[in-house]
Amino acid sequence: MNQTSPAAATPPEFAADGPLVIVLNAGSGRSDADDTQRTISGILDAAGRPHEVLRIERGMDVAQVAAEAVRRAQGRQGAVVAAGGDGTLNAVAQAVLPAGLPFGVLPQGTFNYFSRTHGITSDTEQATRALLRARPAPVQVGQVNERLFLVNASVGLYPQLLQDREAYKQRYGRSRLVALWSALVTLLHAHRPLRLQLECQGRQQSVRTSTLFVGNNGLQLQQIGVPEAGLLAQGQLVALVLRPVGTLGMLGLMMRGAFGRLGEAEDVLRFGFERLAMRPAAPRRTARVKVATDGEICWLRAPLNFRVSPQPLWLLTPMPQDRVEPA
């Protein structure tokens, strides 16, 4: 579990019967949003727990809804809860982190890496009951140019894979098979390698790469076979730099990752760090760069500075009897 030492930060004010402000993404997952909301509200009403649900409908600004949830929760010894996939969790956590509020999760996505890492079930009914007993614990998060990420951040081919995957999901539905098929289609198209300047711990290095991937999730890193996953527990992030390879070589790396053997590949440079600076090689040293954070695409101006956030996220963590082991 990516947790910060409790001595490193002051816990937020939180009452066991404090209100929960729930941000529900009506487009996440496969279940009907109305049914999901009824399930959540029914359990909280039966327990006498004050709460309100702010829904994110198509076309709404997630950041604005998250900011409103924070405003309503502040000063009430309550918490903000994100009900959605990893992208929704990221957007809500982005607003919660600087406010120092407790952050709850009701996973509704496809992969749910963040929630699974912390023992939170994907069953909405069980997760809501567990939320009633959960208590805040500090959890490590990453930042790139002050933009938060819970699971990973990346530049290069990986953001393009994610962008294409989302387009396929909107057309064919959300499933792991659709995600795999979209990735194969993307890899069949040629992509120009990136020339980057990296600076870490006072050392500079020029690299050519198809993807720079920064991980903050032990479960994901372990599943693809990255032995440095244990560095997360030491307060570091883990970088993967994929050397340029052809389509067949990239497919081979994907297969290694799928079978948990990516760490054996010679074409992958791996290292842990607390701070990493990245910029495109000259002449475009201050160019805008496409970045993916927890599956959401944004554009940030170089240089990109990856680091462990000095402030932990106070996650409402399940009690031992409510925890589930990640599948």
Q: Report d(CA 43, CA 50) in Å as an integer.
A: 11
Please give the model's pTM, rounded to 2 decimal places. 0.87
The secondary structure of 47-59 as a DSSP string is TT--EEEEEE-TT
State pLDDT tens for residues 56-95: 998 899 999 999 999 999 999 999 999 999 889 999 999 9
pLDDT of residue 295: 86
pLDDT of residue 109: 85
- Low pLDDT (below 50) residues in the chain: 1, 4-7
Long-range contacts of 247-255 (CB under 8 A, 24+ apart): 247/187, 247/188, 247/190, 250/157, 250/187, 250/210, 251/184, 251/187, 254/183, 254/187
pLDDT of residue 7: 42
- Any residues with CB less than 8 A from the CB of 261 and at least 6 apart, and which? 225
Helix/strand/coil for 103:
strand
> CB 22: neighbour CB atoms within 10 A?
25
The secondary structure of 80-93 as a DSSP string is EEEEE-HHHHHHHH
Q: Report d(CA 1, CA 66) in Å as an integer.
A: 25
pLDDT of residue 316: 98
Residue 279 amino acid letter: R
pLDDT of residue 253: 66
- Any residues with CB less than 8 A from the CB of 170 and at least 6 apart, and which? none
pLDDT of residue 6: 39
pLDDT of residue 258: 72
